[in-house]
Amino acid sequence: MTGPLNGLRIVEMAGLGPGPFAAMMLADHGAEVIRIERAGMIGVPNDPLLRNRKSISLDLKREECRAVVRRLAERSDGLIEGYRPGVMERLGLGPEPLLEANPKLVYGRITGWGQSGPLAQEAGHDINYIAISGLLHGIGPKERPAVPLNYLGDYAGGGMMLAFGMVAALLAVQRGGQGQVIDAAMSDGTALIGALTYGLRAAGLWRDEREANLLDGGEPIYGIYRCLGGEFVSIGAIEPQFRASLFKGLALPPDASRDDIAIVVAARRRDEWAAHFAGTDACVAPVLDLGEAPVHPHNVARRTFIDLDGVFQPAPAPRYSATSLDRPDPPRREGEDGAAILAELGYGGEQIANLLGGES
């Protein structure tokens, strides 16, 4: 592996959503990530979140398999887990014994509600975590909040925040500090993403209503418009010079209303508008679906997407001027690297066969 995190080893306790996303980020940027699989998980074939890993399957109900995790943690720089608070402790794999054995270990924990607080032990999903952050209230049309998929809590406020915390803590260790526990909560991370909005509200520049503010569709020059044929364009002409370019391109006066813009936009197809505004500062872009995005000329030129085993998926990001990133490896078969990992840890052939349930 190449990349700025080359030389680091991370143990990933298999989970769903934000944990794998954080592990993918670390692996994309050069870290060696060993994923400890567990039976019964919902799987997605060729899941991009599982690229760039080594994989071992262990039955954590067995003490000898838990001992493998402990041995791995002793020889690793970090560990990521996304279970409910207390689960890893009950397995004997909590932060206390692992950090005692490896004081430099960065132990990353990602949950919806965090490791403490009145909701810590309650079940939930992305939509619940972002609901208490205040951000969900502001997303959608006037009538009611909209469901923004699970991008905001699981990935932006969760996995991305955990990946940042891991890198920050790993940097502190390299500077002579000790390992530590990262308590990454999706509810915390989502709230942090809303820092600008909370600042605007405190300054009296944000109303707690949907479609009543500049960035939530409350202004006609910032929103989504339907085109001829049912497709959409996005308009984000905030600054005066961008507004002027937009209204010039639409042949509308600068005080045109949302309805005025909608009528004009609806008279042409989406791709006609994209071509019409190409090369201008009107801040108009087509709303592409998941099949169209990978073949958009800009994304092609930037190599924003890659094809791994027939799965178009986002390429590693961001880019570095002095460090290259390898093309990601496709997801491994579950447990594919188990024998090699155990051998590296010093286990013999009979032990390996026993730990892997007879597989070698």
Peptide bond into 318 cis (omega under 30): yes
Q: Given 28, 77, 126, 154, which residue is catalytic?
A: 154
Q: Given 125, 208, 307, 309, which residue is catalytic?
A: 125
Which whole-number Å values give the CA distances from 171 to 58, 178, 180, 311, in the listed order? Answer: 30, 10, 12, 33
What is the pairing mode between strands 106-111 and 78-81? parallel
What is the distance between the alpha carbons of residues 32 and 16, in angstroms, rounded to a whole number?
Answer: 19
Cβ–Cβ < 8 Å for 283, 246: yes
Strand partners for 53: 33
3-state DSSP call for residue 76? coil
Which whole-number Å values give the CA distances from 143 to 122, 209, 210, 267, 302, in the listed order? Answer: 29, 10, 8, 27, 39
What is the distance between the alpha carbons of residues 161 and 182, in angstroms, rounded to a whole number?
Answer: 10
Is 154 a known active-site residue? yes
Is 307 a known active-site residue? no
Three-class secondary structure assignment of 296-322 = CHHHHHHCCEEEECCEEEECCCCCCCC
Reading phi first (left if > 0) and then psi (alpha if -120 to 50, else beta), residue 3 is in: left
Can you spell out the DSSP letters for 230-279?
S-EEEEE--SHHHHHHHHHHHT--TT--HHHHHHHHTTSBHHHHHHHHTT
- Provide the residue count of the chain: 360
Residues identified as active-site:
125, 154
